[in-house]
Every structure is written in C-alpha cells, then in structure tokens.
Amino acid sequence: MKSLVSDNEMKYIILDTNIWIYSTRLLDDSMSAALLFYLNNTGGKLVLPEIIEKEVSANLTKIAKSACGEIDKQYALLQKIFGSIDDYRLPNDGDINQAFTKKQTELKKLIQKVPFTFLHAKGALNRILKGIPPNKVSNQKQQGDQQFKDSCIWEVAIELAKKSEVVFITKDYGFFENRKPKNGLATPLKNEVAKLNHNISVFPDIHSFLTDIKDTIPKLNVAVIKKSLNEQINKDKSLIDAVGSEQTELLSDFSCKAFLTEKNNLVAIHYGLRYLVDNIDDIFTGEPLGGGIMVVGGNCLFDFTEGIVTKNSVDSISFEDPKGLSIPGKGATHFARMSATIGRGIKTYELRAEMPDEML
C-alpha cells in the first residue's frame, strides 16, 4: 500500500540508555509518541543494540528496587505515626523485569536489535587506547564516562551507516565537539562519518531531533480523513432522520485537530464537518427557516498505515443560519434522540500529545 504521508529517507535511530530511562521513562512521553509516529511513517527503525538493552534492563531493576525501598521506608514511618494504614502492593522482581520486555513487544514492528559482536568490542578497545571520542583524552578527568559502552555504540552506528542514515540521541556529551551539543559531532567522529556511505548525526534529546527535521516530518493526509468521515456520516440514515435536515453539500472548511496516541499507528482526531442544508425548521414552532449550515463535530481514530477512519463518535450537532449565526437550541434535542444510534462516548486511546499544525 502506498504511504499516506510524504516520502522520507529511512533512518536508523539509536536511543542511548539515558534517553530510554531518565528522559522518557521507556518512551512514555509526548516526544516519544512523536518520534514513533515519525518512524512508523518513514519506515525507519528504532535500533536497540544489545549493549544498551542489557544496560537499560539492569538500570531499570536498580531504579525500581531503590524506589520500592524508599516507599517501604516511608510507609513504615506513616505506620508508626497513625498506628494502622491501608496495605499496598509493590512490583516484584518479575514485574520489574517484564516492564522493558513489554515495551519491546509493543514496538516490535519498529525495533531492530543489533547483537553485540567481537568486531564491536575490538573497535571500541581501539578507540579507548587511542583516546578517540566519545572517550576522554588522557588529560581529561570527567567522572562517569562509560568509555567502552559508548565506543561500542558508535561502532554499531558506523556499521548501520553503511546501509542508511543514522541518528544517535544521547545525553553523553563525549560525542559532541568540546562536549557541547550545539557544536555537533566531535571533529574526529565527523571525519569518520565523512568517509561513510551515509551520515551519522547526534542529538542531546528527541525534541532537538524533531526540531531539526520539522520540514520533512510526515504529514497526515487530511483529505483522506475528511472523505472517509463524510462517507460514514452520509451512510448513516439515522443521523439524517434524527436531525430532520438532509445535507446537500459538504463545505470545504474542515476543522481537524490530531493527537498522537500510545499506539504508534493510530492518531486520535477531533473534527468538525460543515454541510449546507436545504431547510432548517424552527425548533419551537416547526416553521421552515430556510437554508443554512449543519455543523457535525466528533472524534475518531485514524490508522495512517491503512488510511482508515475507525471508532467514529459524533459528539455534537448544531445549526447556523445563512449568515453564520447559531440557531439557539437547534440540534441539541435532535442529537439526544440519535445519540444512542450513533454512539457517544466511545473510548479512544489515551491522548498523549497534540500534533503540531505543520504535521497536518
């Protein structure tokens, strides 16, 4: 099936451990939702090197157990103060171990795992011995640098850059020139990249990456959404009967606001469709008021991989006279009559992030 978004070069995107855990809490924030949307629409891959996978798992266990210990400590304090308080359940080792596994399963269509190899280790060791970034040179004494791991990740990036462009998102400043993200890649790394088939770029966070590519971010096909919604509404005879006015023409001014969801192939849409109608009856007297506009508002989900609108829920119907002035009361009573048929209150996925207008 042809993509419903603009074409982009496929990218490999590597997230460092600090991004997985501390910045996004296992990709559970709005910037992560935007990144997953981008990957799903460009055919890109979220690369998970084995060395990062193991570090994420280990650090998650350490953080979770520390948090559980702190909760137990504070609970014991409250128990002494109040004598008796409600019990609670903390995640056990099995729960903790499953958290990262579950996330990988959710993203299995996007994730590409890269096993740790002898060549990665050999290349990393060579970098350490020569003091090549991301390792510190001999006269630097910054603490906390994980030289071997970072060098192995860079070796993975070089390997992938033989096939396509690579983006590495990390808060480890050893990859940046003079350890400053605004300066871009460290010069020795930039010189290496110049000899590769494809570029390797590095960013300190997901937001910086999305800002850098904002002009090429895939866009939703709003025309497809509008057409599909119109077809669904026109097929629903109960809607036409309930409002007592048959729409004659779909107007061009279609309002649409999109929200990224935790399902990386689904976007939640809040929409407004405007129709010309031949005649509008007075809600109180039943007398014809002449032609006007019927405004249908609602929510739906849009699967942009298939181009399908689902879970359409009409939430409001209102009418305007030919001058665009609202007709008081008109629509509310009729809507109450048809709400059970159309289906109000359909639950969609939890909204995570409002999609920028430039993506529509």
pLDDT of amino acid 215: 75
Q: Residue 218 above 70 pLDDT?
A: yes
Point out the least confidently predicted range of 34-48, 140-154, 285-299. Answer: 140-154
pLDDT at 10: 85
Ordered DSSP codes for 179-223: G-GGG-B-HHHHHHHTTSSS-EEEESSHHHHHHHTGGG-----HH
Query: pLDDT tens-digit profile of 305-356?
Result: 788 998 888 877 888 877 777 766 554 434 433 343 344 444 556 656 677 6
Q: What is the pLDDT of residue 243?
A: 57
pLDDT the model gives residue 281: 66
Mean pLDDT check: name the lowest of 138-142, 290-294, 305-309: 138-142
Average pLDDT value for residue range 111-128: 93
Residue 6's pLDDT band (cuts 50, 70, 90): very low
pLDDT of residue 258: 85
What pLDDT score was predicted for residue 143? 42
Mind giving me the DSSP string for 266-321? EEEEEEEEEEEES--B-TTT--B---EEEEEEEEEEEETTTTEEEEEEEEEEEEE-
Cβ–Cβ < 8 Å for 334, 242: yes
The whole-number pLDDT of residue 346 equals 45
Residue 317 confidence (pLDDT): 80
Residue 241 confidence (pLDDT): 60
Mean pLDDT across 202-225: 87
Task: Look up the pTM and report it.
Answer: 0.70
* Band of pLDDT at residue 238, cut at 50, 70 and 90: low
Res. 303: pLDDT tops 60: yes
Mapping DSSP to helix (H, G, I), strand (E, B) and coil, where does residue 121 land?
helix
Q: What is the mean pLDDT of the chain?
A: 81
Arithmetic mean of pLDDT, 233-247: 64
The predicted structure's pLDDT at residue 88:
83
What pLDDT does residue 355 have? 76
- What is the pLDDT averaged over residues 239-266? 72
The closest of 123, 101, 125, 122 to 113, measured between CA atoms, is 101
Using pLDDT thresholds of 50, 70 and 90, give the confidence band for residue 167.
Answer: very high
Render pLDDT for 28-66 as a digit per residue (tens, 0 to 9).
887 888 898 889 888 899 999 999 999 999 999 999 999
Contacts of 193 (CB under 8 A, 6+ apart): 161, 185, 199, 200
The pLDDT of residue 161 is 96
Least confident piece of the model among 143-152, 236-245, 339-348: 339-348
**Does pLDDT of 302 surpass 80?**
yes
pLDDT at position 331:
47
Kindly tell me the number of DSSP H helices and DSSP E strands found in the chain. Answer: 11, 11
